[in-house]
Amino acid sequence: MNLYEFTFIAHQGLLQQEVEGMIQELAVLLKNIKAEAIFQEAKAMIEKTSSHKLTQQDLEAHARKIQEVSINYSNILESITKILWNELEVDLSNLKGIKAKIDKELLIFGITRKHSLSGSEQRDKESLIRNTINFLRNKIAEHILQNLQNISQNQALLNKALEKFLTNIEASGLIKHEHWGLLDFAYPINKVKSGHYCMLCISSTPKILHEFERKVKLNEHIIRYLSVQVNSIFEGTSHMMNKKIEEQS
């Protein structure tokens, strides 16, 4: 699970609601890029592991089926990831409540309470989240393998191809975001003196992030952006957001 802080500056002429709308559009963009990455990886995986020659039509049909199943699992994983990063207390004091909240999501995998969040003995939040995501990732792998059994009987080859494929499913997209408001630049950028500063905390793969950045460059409303890989998602609100709150109070 690769985590990133993606900060961007939107044009000063935008209204706040327009900036918020842009954030949601970027979240959808991440989803669409991930969906296409899953499809392409599914095709590659089937081609490498198939026991018999497939026509292009059959190949794409099998890939679309795997894509549909995978996106459903990825959406569930995304929902659970957001709950764990955004709502679980650092000291794990509310772990019992968090377990109850995501039970309905986990039931889709056929995972009962006694099996879910089995990492509760972990001493820190980050370790628990990563162990939980890995646990669910393995469950997803089992379901996807079932859909691939009629394509290939080479278990070793399937497992190797599936490992790479799962990294796209694990990319949960937008986890949280902040809009820091309209701030002045240290120096003018293309004669513009201020802009809306925003930060997205996202889970992605390097490949998906690269394609995301490529498309962000084409957005005429975004002046600058910067992505930084991090080890964990910050608790509560960021320093910049806290500063904004203090200035408003």
Distance CA 183, CA 178 (A): 14
Distance of CA 153 to the CA centre of its chain: 31
Helix (H) or strand (E) holding 79: helix 56-87
Pairing outcome for strands 192-204 and 222-230: unpaired
The tens-digit pLDDT sequence of the chain (249 residues) is 799 999 999 999 999 999 999 999 999 999 999 999 999 999 988 888 887 788 999 999 989 988 998 998 898 899 999 999 999 999 999 998 998 888 877 777 666 655 556 544 557 899 899 888 888 888 888 888 877 777 766 777 777 778 888 888 888 899 999 999 999 998 988 889 999 999 999 999 999 999 999 999 999 999 999 999 999 999 999 989 988 888 787
Domains of the chain: residue spans and CATH: 2-28+173-248 (3.30.70.60), 30-170 (no CATH)
Percent of residues in the chain assigned helix, strand, coil, to nearest 5 = 60, 20, 20
